[in-house]
Structure 1
Amino acid sequence: MPRKVEITVSPERTENILTEINELDGLINLQVLRGASVNPQGDVILATIVTSALQDLERRLDRHDLGKKPGLSLSTSEPDSLVNYNFSDQLDRDSVEASWEEMEMIISKDSNATSILLLLVVCSGILAAVGIATNAMHVAIAGMLVAPGFMPIMRITLGLVSKSGAICKRGVIDVFLIYLVLIAVAAFTAFLMQLYGMNPLADSADYYEVTDTLFTYWTTVSTTSVAASVAASLAGAVLIATKRSVFTSGVMIGLALVPSAAIVGMALVAGDTTAAGLALLRWLIDVGIIVLVSFIFFICLKSLKIKRNIAM
């Protein structure tokens, strides 16, 4: 998909930046609105480019201190359609890579640990606990799907690779808050089950005949579970880098983040510290795999495609 780029710049720097942009390979059109920006005051440059030119454009703007001091700002968007005779073939075969800034915005949208997002985590914890306790696989999967549990871990890696300590720090805080709430909610749900005479870790009212297998899978580490986590982690990194975040719900099914975190809280309430420790170990290993795999992927992307640090 092509990009529409809006750049706000102080008037004395407009001509130099226009010259830089006009040299881009993949520039579809270029406009300048003199004095159009009121706050901050300045000119507005509007450009439409093919996506493969986005990284080159941002590297050129980095030379003018994009994001480092007032006077130069950038926003990108995608048009729903674009008809241009000169670029029809190039648009049809355009690349799909996002910039660091676009990836950060995608992650922010899906993982900032605000009060409304933590309400989703509460729902996820309840669903996961009920699904595990009753062996209702579809309920446990529902808990995995609604949890915003993957993106904040990716934010840590994105901050490390793009050289932003602030982004990395926000990722660590969001991971801590989200999974602390999830464990606490699962524990409280397990406590309520015990009040009603249920065993939250091995209830007799099973929907399926695979209770022990499911519980064991989410509390142990094996070659197959590691392979699944590696594949899911790589898929998640690729989805973010190509702006397909809607599919990351599928990534959560391939990972054990939600059920293993839920089992930690449930096992502690049930007094089974061994199960709690095993579940915590599985959760930590999954987090480690996500960080390692996405770090390698982002390093390769930075070296081959992006070739810059984040400006945010």
Structure 2
Amino acid sequence: MQNLRVISPADRTPDVLRMLDGTAGVATVSVVRGASVTPAGDVVDVLLARECTDAVIADLRRFGLTHEGAIALTSVETVLADAAREAEKRAPGEPDDAIVWDELIARTREESSLNATFLAFLTIACLLSAVGVILDSPVTIVGAMVVGPEFGPLAALAVGLVRRRGSMIRRSLLALTVGFPLAMVVTALGALAAEAVGWVRPDSIDDLQQVDFIYQVGPFSLVVALLAGAAGMLALVSSKSAALVGVFISVTTVPAAGFAVVAATVGSWRIALLSAGQLGSNLVGIVVAASIVLLLHRRSRRLRVN
């Protein structure tokens, strides 16, 4: 279930209530007249099925409530009410198959911001992957995969492409094109420092046995990226956040970046190029698969409505 809190100008509240009364998936509606001070108006609290949320928000937008009022959306995990169960039965479709576009856009926009936190996590993940390469440690590589925040801007890029939002596309590309080079430069400086003190030898990546899969580019590299991108977007649109961990440890985006840096600093340019190719194929595959999932979701929704 979803909870909508709406700030509505008093003259528009009757129209809002009539719209909600005619929506099959609405379970409960509460109104507190004049409760909102800024902006001035009524507070309408709505509990409704997830399947109907996107349509209800679209109707609320037509009343101009995003400009002269406000709409807040939160997910509700547990509701003990017969009205809620009846609303879910009346609502068309299944909750996990419904996309709440405004929620998805807000989540991906936040996670694709180029800020100090994003850069710090990406840099730490690249440094961890470099250590994992030097130590031939798959456990450390998996740790780098989990720490890496790159799926956020990749998902936002897919949403921007499908929804044709140029601002989201630019925001995501900025995070990726600035974040990865910066993280790789810092990792290169760390690798060179380790080589200077003798922690890394020029032949340190010649006999790797456990992590050499990172730079081995092949058809299955793209297959894994496509599957991970699809699973990641499905996890986002269905609010199954636990599945995202599996996505993080399926693709070798950050490890490939770290491997490329280590290989370049020791002069293994062939491996560096292969690792860069692995990085590129993973990034493209994730975005393509995530975009396809969103397109299929939107198409299936239209077919159900028609």
1:45 aligns with 2:44: yes
Where does structure 1 differ by over 6 angstroms across 4 or more consecutive aligned residues?
none
Deviation at 1:294, TM superposition (A): 0.8
Alignment match, 1:131: 132
Of the three residues 218, 223, 228, the one matched with 2:219 is 223
Compute the TM-score of the two structures, normalised by the length of structure 2: 0.88
Structure 2 Cα separation of the partners of residues 245 and 82 of structure 1? 20
**Stretch moving more, 129-138 or 244-253:** 244-253
Structure 2 Cα separation of the partners of residues 201 and 30 of structure 1? 68
Alignment match, 1:105: 106
The C-alpha deviation readout for 1:254-289, integer Å capped at 9, x for no partner, is 111011111222233223333222222211111111
> Contact 1:131/1:139 (CA < 8 Å) preserved in 2?
yes
Deviation at 1:82, TM superposition (A): 1.1
What amino acid sits opposite 1:4 in the alignment? Answer: N
RMSD (Å), alpha carbons: 2.5
> Contact 1:26/1:53 (CA < 8 Å) preserved in 2?
yes
Alignment match, 1:254: 250
Unaligned runs of 5+ in 1: 308-312
Secondary structure in structure 1 of the residue aligned to 2:31: strand
Deviation at 1:40, TM superposition (A): 1.6
The C-alpha deviation readout for 1:85-140, integer Å capped at 9, x for no partner, is 24436659951334122123333454433213322223212211000111011011
Secondary structure in structure 1 of the residue aligned to 2:128: helix
Alignment match, 2:34: 35
Deviation at 1:295, TM superposition (A): 0.8
Alignment of 1:194-213 (within 5 A): 194-199=195-200, 202-203=203-204, 211-212=208-209
Alignment match, 1:95: 95
> Contact 2:256/2:279 (CA < 8 Å) preserved in 1?
yes
Secondary structure in structure 2 of the residue aligned to 1:30: strand
Deviation at 1:236, TM superposition (A): 0.5
Secondary structure in structure 1 of the residue aligned to 2:43: strand
Structure 1 Cα separation of the partners of residues 118 and 53 of structure 2? 31
> Contact 1:125/1:262 (CA < 8 Å) preserved in 2?
yes
Taking structure 1 as reference, are residues 213 and 139 closer, same or farther at Cα in structure 2, changes over 3 Å only? Answer: closer
Structure 1 Cα separation of the partners of residues 251 and 170 of structure 2? 23
1:267 aligns with 2:266: no
Deviation at 1:200, TM superposition (A): 6.3
Give percent identity, aligned residues only.
Answer: 20
The C-alpha deviation readout for 1:63-91, integer Å capped at 9, x for no partner, is 33464xx2142111123421112443665
What amino acid sits opposite 2:7 in the alignment? Answer: T
Alignment match, 1:295: 291
Structure 2 Cα separation of the partners of residues 138 and 164 of structure 1? 38
Compute the TM-score of the two structures, normalised by the length of structure 1: 0.86
Unaligned runs of 5+ in 2: none
> Contact 1:106/1:243 (CA < 8 Å) preserved in 2?
no
Taking structure 1 as reference, are residues 64 and 29 closer, same or farther at Cα in structure 2, changes over 3 Å only? Answer: same
Structure 1 Cα separation of the partners of residues 20 and 165 of structure 2? 26
> Contact 1:98/1:243 (CA < 8 Å) preserved in 2?
no
Structure 2 Cα separation of the partners of residues 73 and 31 of structure 1? 16
